[in-house]
Amino acid sequence: MNKLAYLILVTLIIGCSSSIADDYRKTLDSLEKQHQTELNKGERMMHLEKEYELVMDSMLNIVYKDLMLKLNETEKKNLRTEQREWIKKRDVEFKKLWKSIDEMITEIGFAPQDERMFVYSQKANFVRNRVLELVDKIEER
């Protein structure tokens, strides 16, 4: 099943549940297990990491929007500010990750797929950690 379709299906199921934070965590765990199962096949690994990064970004958007629905206007403003700061931090971190790839291309003329795969993996984990932070905020509500 396409990962995005799976994500949407799981999100719909979550909407019908009583413990949203727990369901988000279960969804993240399920996505990670599915991702690892695919990686273990040893095929298209860089593509899978890139796809997983996009799935984590989609999860971030879903959880962020869900959290925003639960907040009053002051809390929404604070979360927007916090998210903007996180985005700045993310951009700096991602730039650092790609810098090593750019340096490698300058030095040897190419970047091995393993190196690029590692960057996509690090980016996905960075976003996943933010998703978990937002899930914790939902749980606090």
In angstroms, rounded to a whole number, what is the distance separating the alpha carbons of residues 80 and 100?
A: 31
Tokens of 22: 């727990």
The domain tally of the chain equals 1
Sign of the Cα pseudo-torsion (47, 24, 14, 36, in order):
positive
Q: What is the 3-state secondary structure (H, E, C) of 7-60?
A: HHHHHHHHHCCCCHHHHHHHHHHHHHHHHHHHHHCCCCHHHHHHHHHHHHHHHH
Tell me the pLDDT of the chain (141 aa) as tens digits. Answer: 566 666 666 665 555 445 899 999 999 999 999 999 999 999 999 999 999 999 999 999 999 999 999 999 999 999 999 999 999 999 999 999 999 888 888 889 888 899 999 999 999 999 999 999 999 999 998
Which residue bears the tokens 């273990």? 40
Quick check: 87 and 72 in contact, CB under 8 A?
no
Tokens of 116: 């690029």
pTM, entire model:
0.85
String of DSSP letters for 89-119:
HHHHHHHHHHHHHHHHHHHHS---HHHHHHH
Domain housing 108: 3-140
